[in-house]
């Protein structure tokens, strides 16, 4: 586990807010913080649904239901919680069904502005770490190719990528103008327990259980596959370091693997016959990115750490979690 969140002060005075706490990554951040004695506030869209998720993942904290698209509600939430640090994992546009541009802008961009305004009014002046750890996306880079360093000029090609990039810029602008401390962690291809149905690893799990074939793209695109618990670890570590106002940090492994190789590795572990993997049966999505190795030097310099869970280990851990739950990896 990372450096202590209660170092040099009473842990009971540290208040941690996680927005989007019941989501794929949010639940793992909450779980990672569960061993601390700080006060944990789990902000969700639907409390009754989230309670089941938190029970499954052994997450404990105060659950707060909020409409984060409402700026007044965001301000009220922060004045109630007054968090020392906020992890913003709220987002819209990852699921195929989430394609409304207006909602994308409200959640991915405008919410960031509302959070910054609220944090400026309520921030914990004695807290030495970041005020805000904001989660960004690889799709902010878009169609630029090459080695994806944080200083690259982005060219997003999707509503999701554009709205997330605007959110990143909003954070940086507010950090400089309001004197708050914030960092954006850009995530890449995150996998592990809790992924949405329809994504690669859950689809392979379903195919293995059903004994059925699985239609796939040709799989030649390369991705930086990062195990979800490593991502949670990285976010917590970034919450404790000093960065430039609104600095961007790639949170990835720095290693690429083709989608086909990942699928074949998982299929071998799950004992799915190779002829059941129907590569080329599906078209490659238009938003697929082509890029060289993701630059992680900044992450290494700031945290003295990089994600270390290998692909086979991550898949095995996902399968072990699914087995414990009895029904699936979600």
Range of the domain at 239: 12-189+225-254+294-308
Asked if 137 and 82 touch (Cβ cutoff 8 Å), the reply is no
In a domain, 174, yes or no: yes
**279: Cβ contacts below 8 Å, ≥ 6 apart:** 216, 217, 218, 219, 260, 263
Answer whether residue 201 is part of any domain.
no
Q: Is 99 a member of any domain? A: yes
Kindly state whether residue 303 falls inside one of the protein's structural domains: yes
The mean pLDDT value for 295-320 works out to 98
pLDDT in tens, 216-250: 999 999 999 999 999 999 999 999 999 999 999 99
CA distances from 318 to 15, 307, 322 (A): 30, 16, 6
Confidence of residue 92 (pLDDT cuts 50, 70, 90): very high
Torsion on CA atoms 6, 8, 12, 17, rounded to nearest 10? -50
Give the 3-state secondary structure of residue 49: helix
Q: What is the mean pLDDT of residues 2-11?
A: 53
Would 49 be classed as within a structural domain? Answer: yes
105 to 2, 132, 142, 245: CA distances (angstroms): 33, 19, 17, 22
The whole-model pTM stands at: 0.95
Q: Is residue 321 part of a domain?
A: no
Q: What's the structural domain count of the chain?
A: 1
Could you report the per-residue pLDDT of 14-69, keeping only the tens digit for each?
999 999 999 999 999 999 998 666 899 999 999 999 999 999 999 999 999 999 99
CATH at 149: 3.40.50.720
In a domain, 5, yes or no: no
Residue 296 CA to residue 306 CA, distance in Å, equals 8
Residue 158 in any domain: the answer is yes
For 224, the token pair is 């930086």
299 band by pLDDT with thresholds 50, 70 and 90? very high
């Amino acid at each position: 586990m990372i450096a202590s969140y209660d170092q040099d002060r009473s842990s009971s005075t540290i208040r941690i807010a996680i927005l989007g706490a019941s989501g794929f990554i949010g639940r793992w951040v909450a779980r990672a913080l569960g061993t601390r004695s700080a006060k944990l506030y789990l902000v969700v869209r639907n409390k009754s649904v989230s309670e089941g998720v938190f029970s499954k993942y052994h997450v404990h904290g105060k659950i707060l239901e909020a409409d984060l698209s409402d700026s007044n509600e965001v301000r009220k939430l922060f004045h109630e919680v007054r968090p020392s640090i906020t992890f913003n994992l709220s987002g819209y546009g990852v699921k195929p069904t989430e394609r409304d541009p207006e909602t994308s802008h409200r959640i991915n961009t405008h919410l960031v502005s509302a959070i910054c305004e609220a944090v400026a009014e309520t921030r914990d002046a004695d807290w030495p770490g970041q005020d805000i750890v904001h989660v960004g996306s690889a799709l902010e880079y878009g169609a630029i190719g090459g080695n994806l360093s944080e200083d690259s000029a982005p060219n997003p090609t999707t509503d999701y990528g554009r709205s997330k990039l605007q959110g990143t810029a909003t954070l940086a602008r507010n950090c400089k103008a309001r004197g708050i401390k914030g960092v954006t962690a850009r995530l890449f291809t995150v996998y592990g327990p809790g992924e949405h149905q329809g994504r690669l690893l859950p689809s392979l799990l379903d195919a293995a259980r059903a004994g059925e074939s699985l239609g796939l793209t040709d799989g030649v695109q390369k991705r930086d596959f990062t195990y979800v618990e490593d991502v949670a670890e990285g976010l917590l570590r970034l919450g404790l370091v000093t960065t430039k106002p609104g600095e961007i940090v790639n949170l990835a492994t720095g290693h690429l693997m083709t989608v086909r190789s990942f699928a074949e590795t998982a299929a071998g572990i799950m004992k799915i016959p190779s002829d059941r993997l129907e590569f080329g049966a599906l078209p490659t999505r238009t938003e697929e990115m082509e890029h060289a190795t993701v630059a992680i030097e900044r992450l290494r310099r700031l945290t003295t750490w990089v994600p270390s869970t290998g692909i086979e280990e991550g898949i095995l851990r996902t399968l072990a979690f699914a087995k414990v739950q009895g029904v699936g990896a979600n």
